[in-house]
């Protein structure tokens, strides 16, 4: 069983990583997103394993650079290694991350089955981030970034992003 959230011993390193936002969803840190897979300190060098959310996610390179800079600012050397396996899933987004997404106006990913119902069958199961109504309809399966779909609430008329379930 692969855990989404990893344990980071060193509090300075942890704080450094907590300061790095996802450039496309800046309300989430790279730790919230669950893309940091392992952190190892050897001497003064921090080895970070990073996994992409979607294969073509253009934010990956930026994240790697941002993580290096955050660690270097704390006096470390950083070596970032891109790993593909095991593949990222939206289950790895932290509880706190899900909460932050909702507050930011992005509906957090539903379980796989409900996600299918929402995106394929057009069932009204995604909750509006503005008024909490589930009277919402799918506008587009693909949204502003690869990880999101576009919905609109039919009660308050708010258009909003839904973070698609990836499993």
Partner 1 sequence: MSVDRYILSLSDNSMILGHRLSELCGHGPTLETDIALTNISLDLFGQVRGFLSVLAARQGSDVTEDSLAFLRREREHFNCILTELPNTDFAHIIVRQYFFDVFHKMQLEVLQQSTDQDIAAIAVKSLKEAKYHERFSQSWMLRLGDGTEVSHAKMQVAVNTLYPYVHELFDLTEWEKELIESGVAADTETIKEEYYRLIHQTLAQANLSTDGLSNRYAKGKHGMHTENLGFILAEFQYMQRAYPQMEW
Closest contact distance (angstroms) between CB of 161 and Zn ion is 13
Q: How many DSSP H helices and E strands does the chain contain?
A: 5, 7
Nearest to 83 by CA among 59, 58, 62, 55: 55
131 binds, among partner 1, Zn ion, none (CB under 5 to 8 A by kind): Zn ion
Q: Which residue, 58 or 72, has its beta carbon nearer to partner 1?
A: 58
Does residue 144 belong to the site contacting partner 1 (CB under 8 A)? yes
Q: Say which residues have a Cβ less than 8 Å from residue 50's Cβ, sequence separation at least 6.
A: 30, 35, 36, 37, 60, 63, 64, 67, 80, 81, 82, 83
The residues, any chain, with a CB within 8 Å of residue 120's CB and separated by 6 or more, are: none
Do 118 and 125 contact (CB within 8 A), yes or no?
A: yes
Distance CA 125, CA 111 (A): 11
User: Is position 134 an interface residue for Zn ion (rule: CB under 5 A)?
Assistant: no
Site string for partner 1, 42-61 (x = CB under 8 A): ----------x-xxxxx---
**Using CA atoms, how far apart are residues 144 and 147, in angstroms rounded to an integer?**
8
Considering the rule CB under 8 A, would residue 146 count as an interface residue with partner 1? yes
We find the least distance from the C-beta atom of residue 119 to partner 1, in angstroms, to be 6
**Does 131 help bind Zn ion (rule: CB under 5 A)?**
yes
Residue in 6, 79, 150, 156 binding partner 1, rule: CB under 8 A: 150
Stretch binding partner 1 (CB under 8 A), from 8-16, 19-27, 85-93, 129-137: 85-93
Judged by beta carbon, residue 1 or residue 44, the one nearer partner 1 is 1
CB 136 within 8 A of CB 60: no
- Residues near partner 1, by CB under 8 A: 52, 54-58, 84-89, 119-120, 139-146, 150, 164, 166-167
């Amino acid at each position: 069983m692969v855990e989404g959230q990893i344990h980071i011993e060193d509090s300075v390193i942890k704080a450094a990583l907590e300061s790095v936002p996802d450039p496309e969803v800046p309300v989430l840190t790279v730790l919230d997103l669950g893309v940091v897979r392992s952190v190892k300190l050897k001497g003064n060098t921090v080895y970070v394993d990073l996994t992409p959310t979607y294969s073509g996610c253009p934010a990956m390179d930026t994240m790697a650079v941002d993580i290096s800079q955050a660690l270097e600012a704390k006096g470390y050397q950083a070596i970032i290694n891109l790993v593909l396996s095991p593949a990222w899933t939206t289950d790895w987004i932290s509880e706190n991350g899900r909460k932050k997404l909702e507050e930011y106006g992005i509906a957090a990913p539903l379980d796989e089955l409900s996600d299918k119902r929402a995106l394929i069958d057009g069932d009204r199961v995604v909750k509006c981030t503005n008024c909490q109504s589930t009277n919402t309809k799918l506008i587009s399966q693909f949204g502003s970034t690869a990880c999101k779909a576009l919905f609109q609430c039919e009660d308050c008329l708010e258009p909003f992003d839904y973070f698609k379930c990836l499993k």
